[in-house]
Amino acid sequence: MLRLDRAPPQTTTLGDAPPIPNREPYVQRLADEIRVHLADPRCAFDAFRALEAREEHSELIAAARSAAASPLWDTSPAGTVGLVVGSGGVSRRTPNISTAAALTASCVPGVLVAKPGSVASMSRRLGPAGLADRLGIRRAQSGAELLDQLGHEGFALFSSDECYPWLAHAELFTIGFFAEAVNSASLSPCSAAWKVNGVVRPDWDLHLARCRHGLVPRTLIVHGSTDDPEFVLDDASTAGTTEMLLVGPEGHHRASVEPENAGARRVAGADLVVPDGVAPEDVFTAIVEGRAPRTWIELVTLSTAIILITAQPDRSLREEFAHAGSLLRDGVVAEKLRRLQARACS
């Protein structure tokens, strides 16, 4: 059994350091100013150039990081909500693993999941934002709609493009302090108690820095390999090792999982690829209804189990893999999908 929270946390000792002036209130005022400029990104470039000319570089980075990472929507009235996010940059066409896994995890009582996606990402057709439209599921377009969806079904899809319009303004990233700040920031469009973040590039030091500067108390970074070194996943993998980094209040630690650890079959990476001509909404529906190839269903089941041990750390990976499999097999997830589609039509 694997319990990520049972491993000894790794901590960093900073040692004795001379006292420094408390610049936090000033940095926070800078963050507030940057946040205002980000709300109107067409005018932000000139404002950032002016800030760069008059402010300390280190303080600008800290302020911009805070402004970029601050959640825009507050989910706390809904309860303990988690975020499931990915990179949107997988090079080969696979099922939408993280969205199906997020939906499945939300079928567990007490597990509330918000799933953002970008219609501007590489996977826009296959990602959660585009997939919601293809499936006929309503995307939350405001904080109130997000709370409404979480309250009714414990699950919500939304587009992060609406939260971060400044991401589309490439000229802002030519400003040194802003580019550096965003690179080291952990963006969370809504508040969350935990987050599972799939990544293509396992730059663990960078991800650790981002988590430490983020505002989510517990984050699990996930990267999956396959038998093909050039084929990697920003999700758990049944075709190779899944590497993880758990960052929480007590420290951080690394862990790795083989498919067999959870009770899954090890498959070839080629078995995970969706053939050309198959619509993404058909792949998704087949998985949640249990009609898809077993390789796709177990891929989603493993990712669901990893989400669940992040949301409920007192459970084991093998237990949650079995639990997730039963939710898919017994039609619980398919029924939730039908309810979400019906709500969109009402």
pLDDT in tens, 269-302: 999 999 988 988 999 999 999 999 999 999 999 9
Q: What is the pTM of this model?
A: 0.88
What φ, ψ does residue 112 adopt, rounded to 5°? -105, 130
Q: In the structure encoding, which two tokens stand for residue 309, read together?
A: 């041990």
CA-based nearest residue to 178, from 43, 305, 297, 57: 57
pLDDT in tens, 308-333: 999 998 889 999 999 999 999 999 99
Which residues have a Cβ under 8 Å from the Cβ of 246 and sit 6 or more positions away? 4, 5, 7, 218, 219, 220, 221, 252, 253, 254, 255, 310
DSSP one-letter code for 185:
-
**Domain 73-162+185-345, CATH 3.10.20.90 — does that match?**
no
> CA-CA distance, 257 to 249, in Å (whole number)?
23
User: Comparing 8-22, 160-174, 179-193, which segment has the lowest mean pLDDT?
Assistant: 8-22
% residues pLDDT > 70 (the chain): 89
Beta bridge partners of 252: 10, 247
Whether the Cβ atoms of residue 239 and residue 271 lie closer than 8 Å to each other: yes
User: Confidence band (pLDDT; 50, 70, 90) for 91?
Assistant: low
Whether the Cβ atoms of residue 127 and residue 121 lie closer than 8 Å to each other: yes
> CA-CA distance, 104 to 100, in Å (whole number)?
6
| Domain residue spans of the chain | 24-69, 73-162+185-345
> CA-CA distance, 151 to 77, in Å (whole number)?
9
| Res. 250: pLDDT tops 90 | no
Q: Where are the alpha helices (DSSP H) in the chain?
A: 24-38, 44-54, 57-69, 97-105, 128-135, 143-153, 176-183, 204-213, 259-262, 280-288, 294-311, 317-329, 332-345
Residue corresponding to tokens 């971060």? 164
CA Rg value for the chain:
20
